[in-house]
Structure 1
Amino acid sequence: MSAVAPRPPEAAAATVGLVRAYGDGPGAVRALDGVTMWLPSGRFTAVMGPSGSGKSTLLHCLAGLDRPTGGQVLLGDTDLGGLSEAELTAVRRDRIGFVFQDGNLLPHLSAGENIDLAASLAGRRPDRVWRAELVERLGISDRLTHLPGELSGGQRQRVAVARALLGRPELVVADEPTGALDTASGRELLGLLRACVDDYGQTVVMVTHDPQAAAVSDQVLLLRDGVAAGRITAPTPERVLAALGDLSAGEQL
Structure 2
Amino acid sequence: MTSDLGDLRSPPSAPPVPLAARAIDVVREYGDTGNRVRALDGLSLDLPARRFTAIMGASGSGKSTLLHCLAGLDQPTSGRILLGDTDLGRLDDAALTAARRDRVGFVFQDGNLLPHLTAGENIDLGASLARRRPERGWRAELVERLGISDRLRHLPAQLSGGQRQRVAVARALLGRPDLIVADEPTGALDSESGSSLLALLRACVDEYGQTVVMVTHDPVAAAVTDEVVLLRDGRAAGSLSSPTRGRVLEHVAALAAGAGVPA
TM-score normalized with structure 1 length:
0.96
Task: Name 1:73's counterpart in structure 2.
Answer: 81
Task: Name 1:37's counterpart in structure 2.
Answer: 45
Q: Aligned partner of 2:255: which letter?
A: L
Following TM superposition, the consecutive aligned residue runs of length 4 or more in structure 1 with deviations greater than 3 angstroms are none
Instruction: Kindly tell me the number of residue pairs found equivalent between the two proteins.
Output: 246
Task: Name 1:87's counterpart in structure 2.
Answer: 95
Task: Name 2:8's counterpart in structure 1.
Answer: none
Task: Name 2:241's counterpart in structure 1.
Answer: 233
1:25 positional shift: 2.9
1:82 positional shift: 1.5
- Counterpart-to-counterpart distance in 2, 1:239 and 1:40: 22
Tell me, what secondary structure is at the counterpart of 1:216?
A: coil
- Counterpart-to-counterpart distance in 2, 1:124 and 1:252: 50
- Counterpart-to-counterpart distance in 1, 2:46 and 2:32: 29
* 1:29-73 per-position Cα deviation (integer Å, ceiling 9, x unaligned): 100000000111000000000111000000000000001001011
1:9 positional shift: 5.6
- Counterpart-to-counterpart distance in 2, 1:209 and 1:90: 31
Task: Name 1:121's counterpart in structure 2.
Answer: 129
2:201 to 178, 193, 199: 193
Q: Which moved more, 1:75-84 or 1:18-27?
A: 18-27
Q: Does the aligned pair in 1 maintain the 2:223–2:245 contact within 8 Å?
A: yes
- Counterpart-to-counterpart distance in 2, 1:208 and 1:25: 31
Task: Name 2:28's counterpart in structure 1.
Answer: 20
Which structure has the bigger radius of gyration? 2
Task: Name 1:3's counterpart in structure 2.
Answer: none
Q: Does the aligned pair in 1 maintain the 2:25–2:78 contact within 8 Å?
A: yes
Tell me, what secondary structure is at the counterpart of 2:58?
A: coil
- Counterpart-to-counterpart distance in 1, 2:108 and 2:222: 16
* 1:144-182 per-position Cα deviation (integer Å, ceiling 9, x unaligned): 000000000000000000000000000000000000000
- Counterpart-to-counterpart distance in 2, 1:87 and 1:227: 29
2:153 to 140, 145, 148: 145
Task: Name 2:254's counterpart in structure 1.
Answer: 246
Task: Name 2:5's counterpart in structure 1.
Answer: none
Tell me, what secondary structure is at the counterpart of 2:59?
A: coil
Tell me, what secondary structure is at the counterpart of 1:26?
A: coil
1:55 to 55, 59, 63: 63
- Counterpart-to-counterpart distance in 2, 1:132 and 1:9: 31
- Counterpart-to-counterpart distance in 2, 1:14 and 1:163: 24
Task: Name 2:120's counterpart in structure 1.
Answer: 112
- Counterpart-to-counterpart distance in 2, 1:11 and 1:26: 37
* 1:229-248 per-position Cα deviation (integer Å, ceiling 9, x unaligned): 00100000111111111111
TM-score normalized with structure 2 length:
0.92
Taking a change above 3 Å as real, the CA distance of residues 188 and 9 of structure 1, as seen in their structure-2 partners, is closer
- Counterpart-to-counterpart distance in 2, 1:140 and 1:9: 34
CA-based RMSD of the aligned residues comes to 0.9
Tell me, what secondary structure is at the counterpart of 2:243?
A: coil
- Counterpart-to-counterpart distance in 1, 2:154 and 2:59: 36
The answer to whether 1:168 aligns with 2:167 is: no
1:217 to 209, 220, 225: 225
Q: Which moved more, 1:8-17 or 1:172-181?
A: 8-17
Identity %: 73
The answer to whether 1:180 aligns with 2:170 is: no
Q: Does the aligned pair in 1 maintain the 2:17–2:48 contact within 8 Å?
A: no
